[in-house]
Chain A
Amino acid sequence: MTQMHTHHPKKAAAFVSDQARTTWHNKALWFVRQKRDKAAASLPEWEQLRDTAAQIKAHSLSNLDEYLEEFERNAQAKGITIHWAATGDEHNQIVYDILKTHQVREVVKSKSMLTEECHLNPFLEKRGITVIDTDLGERIVQLRNEPPSHIVLPAIHVKKEEIGELFHEHMGTKKGASDPKYLTESARLDLRKKFLDAEAGITGVNFAVAETGSVVVCTNEGNADLGTVLPPIHIACMGLEKIIPKQENLGVFLRLLARSATGQPITTYSSHFNGPQKGSEMHVVIVDNGRSELLSRKKFWRSLSCIRCGACMNTCPIYRRSGGHSYGYVIPGPIGSVLAPNKDLAAHKSLPFASTLCGSCTDVCPVKIDLHHQLLAWREEVVKAGKLNPGKRLAMKLTSWVLQSPQRYKLAGKCARLAMKLPRVFLYNPLNIWGRQRDLPPAPPESFQEWYTKNRDKNS
């Protein structure tokens, strides 16, 4: 496990140093982004859907206590046991206690970013319980002893040859094999046995419906379904923000989720868990872990609307080129960079700066979280808390002084265009952090303002 602390530029530098891999990673994610665009364009009502989703989430969050209680009542009426955890540790302890009561030694888990956030796997493993991640991507990173680098595509940073090597070691696949079909089939056979032997199944929750007490889980692989139907115990772990008021709201969210995530019109399985099977138990653990406090932060509470589709990372130019691990937080990309500072501003102070503020994340977010505004607002918080590093502090002071006066701005532009013509050594010296992995384009002969003044009369 990587430690929960970051200096993004440092970690990104390591990733970027392998240029071929950076290019490949960038392209793979851009391809997913393009699929998302096509899926969004196939629905004329896409923007209305996003507006509606944003409003439903805002409504749910602003009435969250009532919906949580309603959910609890309805779930209990269906025979589901509800647990409440204020912290990640409490969550882990609750899950462990359930497993211990039933003397469970091996548990299958489907994708859940919450259990990653709480570090459930190491907690259980320390206590003698084997956890098997069953989503193929999560299985890959688990065997590599790494956290996921993406919330929907956990192993997006890994090459198929590396997976071949890994499976050879752990599942005895042919040495040197890297055919995705062969590797997937091998994992299917290996995990099928584990599903059949599992004594308990843990899942995340995509949506918890207050009016019915049901939880909805969406997967393509069918692992959440196998992992809950075979063992006699199902434990579903959810952050308290997963609540939506009504079943009909699912229509809005399921239409947005897979289209935004991978460009599919819907995931293969959209499972509605309404209660335990005959002879089985179903538990839902509702986790706070800092979320309720976030509700009071005017600039930031809407980040709790996130449905974890991953679209903001696929589109982010920084994420695509620096990889998920460079963020050093359980959730990478723009949404991770606005969530992490809530947990620990000092530890994650570099994340709000891991952005060009281009706004692409905000444009694709299906629940319309104002991600790039929040990133900017976090920068202000970092500055206010006096946590900015000296180089950046100076640069920002200078920038603000320049931007405050049109004269200074014009002069600065002229100087910059001149400076760009200087020999490289003046520009690419150790003091210039920005220039480390970048090359400047040739300087234009005149500024836009100069060009505009000259040309405005011609065109009118």
Chain B
Amino acid sequence: MSRESILASVRAHKPASIDLPSAPTFGIRYEDISTQFKQAVESVGGICTEINAVEEIKPLIDQHYADAKTIFHTIGDELPIPSLSAREFSTPHDGDKLDLLITRGTLGVAENGAIWVEEKQLPQRSLFFLTQHLVLVVKASTLLHNLHEAYASLGLDHTAQPWAGFIAGPSKTADVEQCLVIGAHGSRSLLVLLET
């Protein structure tokens, strides 16, 4: 079987062992982490607005997504926006009908505007990618300066579910003559609500 022959070949050919460097301690830190995070979200094509309470979400949604008809959210009863029932999404394909998804991010990264999300927070993870528009609510207290800090804080627990990852901005492409177009295959926009 190729497994054995490949491993044998690697063993026979590999160079002398070189040490693994220790975990970086040099990650950039910002004086004003919220401002930096907001700028980073905007630099990756998103919009970022600070809110002080969940009550402020509805008017913002009305303002940004007046046309959204099919909405699913995981914010709970505090958010007075009617949400489709989780039962409507029994297969990954069911997400295709979604105009707007509103959900929380576990943490935000100031250096690049990335927000960590996990499969288990949704009835189907496909909703992250099939929804036309995406709103992520992130607590300011969860902001970290850089990715080194983010991975240290995440740990390995998330790997017990099939998928988790960072989302930074809406989907985009520049494959037609290097001209940036927002809205490739995933969400057409990303609104980040930074809860202070």
Nearest CB in chain A: distance from B98 CB, A: 13
CB 8 Å contact bits of A397-422 with B (1 = contact, 0 = none): 00000000000000000000000000
B184 lies within 8 A of A223 (CB): yes
- Determine the chain B residues whose CB is within 8 A of the CB of A240 once the complex forms: 6, 10
- Determine the chain A residues whose CB is within 8 A of the CB of B45 once the complex forms: 268
Check A330 for interface membership: any CB of B closer than 8 A: no
- What residue of chain B has the Cβ atom nearest to residue A217's Cβ? B165
Query: Given A212-B156, A221-B184, A222-B186, are A230 and B2 neighbors across the interface (CB < 8 Å)?
Result: no
- Determine the chain B residues whose CB is within 8 A of the CB of A230 once the complex forms: 92-93, 126
A59 lies within 8 A of B20 (CB): yes
Query: Given A86-B5, A240-B10, are A59 and B162 neighbors across the interface (CB < 8 Å)?
Result: no
Partner of A163, one of B109, B151, B176, B183: B176
- Determine the chain B residues whose CB is within 8 A of the CB of A58 once the complex forms: 15, 18
Q: Which of A208-229 contact B (CB under 8 A)?
A: 211-214, 220-223, 225-226, 229
Interface residue tally for chain A (C-beta within 8 Å): 96
- Determine the chain B residues whose CB is within 8 A of the CB of A185 once the complex forms: 181, 183
Q: Which of B24-32, B49-57, B76-84, B99-107 contacts A (4 or more CB under 8 A)?
A: B24-32
Nearest CB in chain A: distance from B60 CB, A: 22
| Whole-angstrom CA separation of A254 from B168 in the bound complex | 12
Check B70 for interface membership: any CB of A closer than 8 A: no
Check A435 for interface membership: any CB of B closer than 8 A: no
B21 lies within 8 A of A266 (CB): no
Partner of A62, one of B5, B16, B125, B185: B16
Nearest CB in chain B: distance from A33 CB, A: 12
- What residue of chain B has the Cβ atom nearest to residue A57's Cβ? B18
A268 lies within 8 A of B168 (CB): yes
Check B34 for interface membership: any CB of A closer than 8 A: no
A221 lies within 8 A of B111 (CB): no
B17 lies within 8 A of A69 (CB): no
- What residue of chain A has the Cβ atom nearest to residue B27's Cβ? A45
Nearest CB in chain B: distance from A326 CB, A: 20
A250 lies within 8 A of B24 (CB): no
Q: Which of B160-196 contact A (CB under 8 A)?
A: 160-179, 181, 183-187
Given contacts A28-B178, A65-B10, 19 further A-B contacts (CB under 8 A): A68-B10, A69-B7, A135-B175, A140-B176, A160-B179, A180-B176, A184-B173, A192-B185, A196-B96, A221-B172, A221-B186, A229-B124, A251-B24, A255-B146, A266-B168, A268-B167, A269-B168, A270-B114, A295-B14
B residues apposed to A, CB below 8 Å? 1-3, 5-7, 9-21, 23-24, 26-28, 40, 43-45, 92-93, 96, 109, 111-114, 119, 124-126, 128-130, 146-148, 150-152, 154, 156, 158-179, 181, 183-187
Q: Can you pick out 12 interface pairs between chain A and chain B where the beta carbons lie within 8 Å of each other? A: A52-B24, A62-B16, A154-B175, A185-B183, A212-B159, A221-B171, A255-B148, A268-B186, A270-B168, A277-B162, A288-B9, A296-B15
A residues apposed to B, CB below 8 Å? 28, 31-32, 43-45, 48-49, 51-52, 55-56, 58-59, 61-65, 68-69, 78, 84-86, 90, 134-137, 140, 153-156, 158-160, 163, 180-181, 183-185, 188, 191-192, 195-196, 211-214, 220-223, 225-226, 229-230, 240, 245, 247-248, 250-252, 254-255, 262, 264-278, 282, 286, 288, 292-296, 298, 301
